[in-house]
């Protein structure tokens, strides 16, 4: 069966995962991470992609973003991916592929999943044992949204702004969300949707989304098609 094209729709929230080949590390030190982030800043601006959150793990990274055009997100990921592989191979005296094929992504219903996905990304290093708390991990967007540093890669989503009327109120409200965490069910759905490419949202959102693309946005029913008419 032919592989489905990625679901990429302008103006919608996308969760992106890029993994290392065979789960190998894609970052060996802080310089590697700083390099990738700097190129993401340049390419996000160039291709019109608003990045709302990120986390750089050892062997993969996540982005939460909204592209302005259908081509913006693929162009950004292709530009950064190719450039980073050349840099990484040259710097670490290696050859060959670095990525586990193409990046994975899908569309999320922002009203339901924006803040949940931001928290999911912030807590990834904690779940992986890389930090005791989200604030103890330097390579995510967590500190920016808590007002602890300024990160030029990031663009606020309207739903983050709606958390409060002042920066302090928004930062405090977001800190409370991270402290509360997310359910295991939401965490599993956010991971699965990005890896499989199926849209994540309520039935009304998914139905409306399907009207804007000929590509299926949810998994079809397993088995043979149901016959609506009884056989004699």
Q: 79-92: per-residue pLDDT in tens?
A: 999 999 999 999 99
Compute how many other C-beta atoms are within 10 angstroms of the C-beta atom of residue 35.
16
Report the pLDDT value the prediction gives residue 3, as an integer from 0 to 100.
Answer: 67
* Cα dihedral across residues 182, 185, 188, 190: positive or negative: negative
Would you say how long the chain is, in residues? Answer: 232
* pTM for this model (two decimals): 0.92
Domains and CATH numbers, the chain: 13-197 (3.30.70.1290)
Q: Are 20 and 26 in contact (CB under 8 A)?
A: yes
Confidence of residue 141 (pLDDT cuts 50, 70, 90): very high
Confidence of residue 222 (pLDDT cuts 50, 70, 90): very low
Report the pLDDT value the prediction gives residue 6, as an integer from 0 to 100.
Answer: 83
Confidence of residue 5 (pLDDT cuts 50, 70, 90): confident
Please report, rounded to a whole number, the percentage of residues in the chain having pLDDT higher than 70: 93
CA dist., res. 216 & res. 208, Å (int)? 12
Compute how many other C-beta atoms are within 10 angstroms of the C-beta atom of residue 77.
24
**How confident is the model over 191-213, as pLDDT tens digits?**
999 999 999 999 999 999 999 88
Instruction: Tell me the C-alpha to C-alpha distance, in Å, between residue 113 and each of 57, 84, 94.
Output: 21, 29, 39
Judge whether residue 228 has pLDDT over 60.
no
Confidence of residue 220 (pLDDT cuts 50, 70, 90): low
């Amino acid at each position: 069966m032919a592989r489905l094209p990625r679901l990429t729709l302008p103006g919608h929230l996308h969760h992106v995962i890029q993994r290392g080949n065979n789960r190998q590390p894609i970052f060996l030190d802080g310089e590697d991470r700083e390099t990738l982030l700097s190129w993401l800043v340049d390419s996000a601006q160039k291709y019109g992609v608003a990045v709302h959150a990120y986390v750089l793990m050892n062997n993969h990274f996540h982005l939460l973003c909204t592209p302005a055009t259908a081509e913006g997100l693929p162009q950004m990921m292709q530009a950064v991916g190719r450039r980073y592989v050349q840099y990484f191979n040259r710097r670490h005296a290696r050859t060959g592929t670095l990525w586990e094929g193409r990046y994975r992504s899908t569309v999320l219903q922002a009203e339901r999943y924006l803040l949940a996905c931001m928290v999911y990304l912030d807590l990834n290093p904690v779940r992986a044992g890389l930090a005791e708390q989200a604030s103890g991990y330097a390579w995510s967007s967590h500190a920016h949204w808590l007002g602890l540093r300024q990160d030029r890669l990031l663009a606020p989503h309207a739903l983050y702004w709606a958390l409060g009327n002042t920066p302090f109120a928004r930062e405090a409200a977001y800190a409370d969300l991270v402290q509360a965490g997310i359910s295991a069910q939401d965490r599993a759905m956010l991971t699965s949707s990005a890896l499989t490419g199926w849209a994540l949202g309520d039935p009304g959102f998914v139905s409306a989304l399907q009207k804007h693309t000929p590509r299926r946005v949810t998994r079809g029913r397993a088995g043979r098609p149901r016959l609506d008419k009884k056989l004699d």
